Amino acid sequence: MVKDSLMTSFGSKGQSPAKPLPPSPIPAASSARLRQASPLQPPLFHSSTPRLVLSISPLPRSPSPPHPPSPRGRPPSPRMDSSSSSPSPSAAAAPAADAGRYTFSPKLRWQPEVEEYFAAAYGRDRFARISEALAHPSRYSCIRVNTLKSSTDAVMHKLMDLVCENGLSDGINGVEIVEQNGGDQPHEQSSLVQKCPYAGLENVLFVQGSGPHVLNYNSQPNQSVKEVIVSRKCAESVLRGAQVFVPGVLACSSHVEKGDKVAVSVAVEQPVKDGGWAVGITRGTVLQGLQSDVHYEERKGLYIGQGTAAMSRSGIFRVLHGIAVEMTERVYKLPSFNDVLEGEIFLQNLPSVVAACVLDPQPGERILDMCAAPGGKTTAIGILMRDKGEVVALDRSHNKVMDILKLASEMDLNCIKAYKLDALKSVRKTEEATIVEMVNSHCEAIKTLAEDSGPCHVTVDGTATNVNEESSTTTVVQSVDEQNPEPKRYVSKAELRKNLRRMKNGPGRNNCSGGRVEKSKGFFPNSFDRVLLDAPCSALGLRPRLFAGEETLESLKTHAKYQRRMFDQAVKLVSPGVL
């Protein structure tokens, strides 16, 4: 499945679905058509009808993510050559002997059956281009501004100062963008930080990056290159501007000390004898700079940059967190937003920002985000509601619920309530059906006595119910008071010992983030004005992606079944048109 989201809007009964949202921004030349067809335009923003927005992943769709607008309306080619991007002043051509090794030219691997499926669907040439694009990051970062704490213009100036201070403008040419001003004629400007030119997304900024750059890893010919190998997921984050953190380091050269210059390569899964995939590198492995090193040939063409070791080799594998390598030169230059303007900005993919806008939440409404972690769309909804109303966020992981609450607190949003709950159990079963079954079973057991003594009186959890022997069906509605204390129960010695061990050893693995989260038993049907469902998918369209071999055709089909079940839950929870 491809992570090009298909946005579908459902309003009140009898209302036809809204038009699908385009998967990526279109050139500025087509802005007139965007104003006519975009679901971001009024009257959608001013509609007060309940709405359900579903973000699912059809198969197949083009996985190419959106790019910031350019005069030609398409992104530059991601191929590694000097013509695609000027190298930074500190970078030079790699020595001829190592030119093929110290480069970044990844080849995306797929399961053979999946590759054949997509090749048949797209055509082999087009699918090869898609795979090449997926293995490279986009050249911009999309940022959503928290307009409750700052303005877009103020954040834009702060980011520009940050980009200039960090020297990120080196090697980044001025990019011409088209900006619309209330329907006036567009004008061109050159900037590294750009406003999103589309109506309804005034709180979105693009930070321009550059790449690919050719780097000189072997600055001292008489010495071997000191190297750090990182995991694939760590490398994908580094390609998007992150630093190398301790948990992502797998192997390191011997005698690396704090302040040493190191090359950073990535360990990508390789096929193994049993037909599966494995990295094959044990964390803590020592690299000698020889061809006998682990995966020496496999790492060829998988170097993503170089940086300065923030701690020694022993320190990297002794501590559990912190920055291991501060990246100084990158194949793709993108700014790092770690601890930058905390609470004022949030790094988020453009389709996720658009999903919250299409939902069109209004102040005072009750909104449900069914698969909310890490909380990007949840906080976007809260900001669009001006922190007035209630936003309920769900996730089945304790730590992810904690992340949602932390992000909401960081952005000073008080309308967000997060619960631990599986989205497949979002709809709470009414007590009516359960009680009816209990009443009928009791009446069957005393059917003979009921004929002699008149109506059957049954008490269920303190609720008296009269059951007429002549009635074919019995309906009993029991009010649920969640605040009533539960009756006392016997606690065994084994349970007491277990509780004592828990108090002694601290929280378990599932509660390692600390703190407590509320659990929910679900919600009654028709209890939300709008519902946002971004159902879990294969995420094959996320960039950069350096490996895709874990997905099979069967797993792709399973994702679709899982999404349909969640969709059924979401439809039941949205209000049927009552304002």
Task: Tell me how far CA of residue 352 lies from CA of 56, 200, 377, 564, in angstroms.
Answer: 12, 14, 6, 20
Q: Report the alpha-carbon distance of residue 148 to residue 300 in Å, rounded.
A: 48
Query: Is residue 252 part of an annotated ligand binding site?
Result: no
- Give me 54's structure tokens: 């579903």
Query: Is residue 422 part of an annotated ligand binding site?
Result: yes
Query: Is residue 395 part of an annotated ligand binding site?
Result: yes
Strand partners, 204: 144
Q: Report the alpha-carbon distance of residue 397 to residue 402 in Å, rounded.
A: 9
- Give me 491's structure tokens: 């606690």
Query: Is residue 75 part of an annotated ligand binding site?
Result: no
Q: Report the alpha-carbon distance of residue 130 to residue 63 in Å, rounded.
A: 7
Q: Report the alpha-carbon distance of residue 324 to residue 565 in Å, rounded.
A: 42
CA angle 186, 190, 195 (to 5 degrees): 65
Neighbours of 374 (CB within 10 A): 15
Query: Is residue 512 part of an annotated ligand binding site?
Result: no
β-pairing verdict for 140-145 and 204-208: antiparallel
Answer yes or no: are the C-beta atoms of 356 and 532 closer than 8 Å.
Answer: yes
- With b for 16 or more beta-carbon neighbours within 10 A and e for fewer, the 478-509 pattern comes to eeeeeeeeeeeeeeeeeeeeeeeeeeeeeeee
Query: Is residue 373 part of an annotated ligand binding site?
Result: yes
β-pairing verdict for 270-271 and 249-253: unpaired
Query: Is residue 356 part of an annotated ligand binding site?
Result: no
- For the chain, how long is the longest CA-to-CA vector? 105
User: H helices of 257-397, where?
Assistant: 313-316, 350-359, 376-384
Query: Is residue 376 part of an annotated ligand binding site?
Result: yes
Query: Is residue 387 part of an annotated ligand binding site?
Result: no
Query: Is residue 529 part of an annotated ligand binding site?
Result: no
Closest CA to 57 of 538, 571, 542, 424: 538
Q: Which residues are annotated as a binding site?
A: 371-377, 395, 422, 534
Q: Which residues are annotated as a binding site for S-adenosyl-L-methionine?
A: 371-377, 395, 422, 534
